[in-house]
Structure 1
Amino acid sequence: MTNTTPHPYASLSGRTAVITGAASGMGEATARLLAAHGVRVCLLARRADRLTELAEKIGAEGGRALAVPADLTDQASVDAAAEQVHAAYGRVDLVVNAAGVMLPNPIADGRTDEWQRMLDTNVTGALRVIRAFTPGLIAAARDGGTADLVNISSIGAHVPFPNYAVYGATKAALTYLSQSLRTELGPHDVRVTNIEPGLTDTELGSHVDNAELSAQLDGMFDALIGLSSDDIADLIAYTTSRARHVNLRQAIVLPTRQA
């Protein structure tokens, strides 16, 4: 007997998504999964070669993808990316802020270069993307469609970890921003979801230049059996495929062994 039950993500088909940080990790996994369910995906990140490779893979698998190299720390670059997206695919109804950097070090080290990079990417970069695509989200919802803004924060937003103070502060800012934006966008029927992953296997760990902290992170993965980027992508697909009047506003997702 043929199974005629629709796939739980079937409602995603025909939507258009912008995904930042799409060159690797959660962003890449999310792009591939959404594209597999009929979403046109716009891939934003700095590494043009990785984006082109991903877009080609998605195309070979029957999906539609647009590679858009962009530096979220540069307003002109984000503006140019938004123009390219709109010219190619028109209005966007799904935005996933997956770009981020994690640079832990003791606060006493005074690494102002790291502080600024995390603030520029994790907070200001997300704001630039939100500013660029929120009008489209509002218009999509006004016309009866489903519209989603998904911000990927971190469990570090409210659980302190030694030497991660500035990273945690940037993620706390993103969590609060998501909460506040619901009061502005909810009345327009735009859903805002904040996702706080625990230990997840991405390239973030490779950014750490402190040998002791890097080894500590590796030890945590061995002990806790961290999540994969695919796990987070699956949660995003589930969240954004719900009926348009249902907003899964906050999701904390941890490895089972992480307290």
Structure 2
Amino acid sequence: MSKFPMAQGLKVAAVTGAGSGIGEAAAMKLAKDGFHVAVIDILSDKVSAVARAIEAIGGQALALVADVRQADSVDRAFEAIENWRKCPDVLVNSAGIIVRGQLTTPLLSER
């Protein structure tokens, strides 16, 4: 039995890096395809603008500020999505992380 019985047939997507570029385009496309979209980015003004654009075309959106470099920030975002609708059916990881250094520099998870 579903943890979200009222959510049968509801399609939910979470898009990181949704404040601009490929992430924004993916969020808009998913909204046009009937998904309720969690718009996630590190910049609050960007997520708000994209969420408003989704709502302007008749879609449902949740604007979330999260830093994908921080596990607790991502955890809070996904908890908010589940409280808003349900666990996402689709995840688009479009957030870009720039790490300056040599190829031999340890990964973020190793720091």
Answer yes or no: same fold by TM over 0.5.
Answer: yes
Q: Deviations over 1:60-79 (max 9, x none)?
A: 11011111100011111111
Q: Which runs of 5+ in 1 are unaligned?
A: 1-12, 105-110, 125-259
List aligned pairs for 1:81-160, cutoff 5 A. Answer: 81-101=77-97, 111=101, 119-120=107-108
What corresponds to 1:21 in structure 2?
A: 17
The structure with the largest alpha-carbon Rg is: 1
SS in 2 for 1:22: coil
| Correspondence for 1:39 | 35
Counterpart CA distance in 2 for 1:48 and 1:16 is: 21
Q: Distance in 1 between matches of 2:98 and 2:29?
A: 24
Q: Structure 1 residue 57: deviation in Å?
A: 1.0
Residues in 2 aligned to 1:14 and 1:29: alpha-carbon distance in whole angstroms: 21
TM-score (norm 1): 0.35
4+ residue stretches of structure 1 with deviation over 2 A? Answer: 101-104
- C-alpha deviations, 1:225-255, integer Å up to 9, x for none? xxxxxxxxxxxxxxxxxxxxxxxxxxxxxxx
Name structure 2 gaps, 5 residues minimum. 1-8
> What is the number of residues matched between the two proteins?
99
Distance across 1 between alignment mates of 2:48 and 2:17? 13
Instruction: Please give the alpha-carbon distance, in whole angstroms, between the structure 2 residues aligned to 1:42 and 1:71.
Output: 14
Cα shift at 1:102: 5.1
- CA–CA distance in 1 between the matches of 2:93 and 2:56? 25
The yes-or-no answer on 1:60 pairing with 2:78 is: no
Larger relative contact order (C-alpha < 8 A, sep ≥ 6)? Answer: 2
Aligned residue number for residue 71 of structure 2: 75
**C-alpha deviation, 1:103, in angstroms:** 6.4
The whole-number CA distance in structure 1 between the counterparts of 2:97 and 2:77 is 20
When residues 34 and 47 of structure 1 are mapped into structure 2, their CA distance, relative to the original with a 3 A threshold, is: same
Instruction: State the distance in 1 between where 2:26 and 2:80 align.
Output: 21
Query: 2:37 corresponds to which letter in structure 1?
Result: V
Q: Deviations over 1:179-222 (max 9, x none)?
A: xxxxxxxxxxxxxxxxxxxxxxxxxxxxxxxxxxxxxxxxxxxx
The one-letter amino acid paired with 1:22 is A
State, as a whole percentage, how many aligned pairs show the same letter. Answer: 36
Structure with higher helix content: 1
